[in-house]
Amino acid sequence: MLTREVLKSYLEEMPRGHIFDLTYALFGDAFPPGEPDPIARAALQAFARDCNCDLKNNLLEGRYELTRL
């Protein structure tokens, strides 16, 4: 199970330009209740910004892409 603390630690250690694929299942673990909850999505957006990452939703593959800036 992925926690926000573990995700934050990983994102902060990633090199610039690296992409972390956050599946919808992992998103639900860290930001319950997960997809398609708008409050969980907003929390992920704020979290990505705090971790200096760009966030994209890849609907076709069912995942979010967090790119380190």
How many domains is the chain partitioned into structurally?
Answer: 1
Q: Residues 7-30: pLDDT tens digits?
A: 999 999 999 999 999 999 999 999
- pTM of the entire predicted model: 0.94
Those residues whose C-beta lies under 8 Å from the C-beta of residue 31, and which sit 6 or more positions away, are 4, 37, 40, 41, 43, 44, 47
Q: How confident is the model at residue 40 (pLDDT cuts 50, 70, 90)?
A: very high
What is d(CA 28, CA 68) in angstroms, rounded to the nearest whole number?
21
Question: What is the residue range of 49's domain?
Answer: 4-68
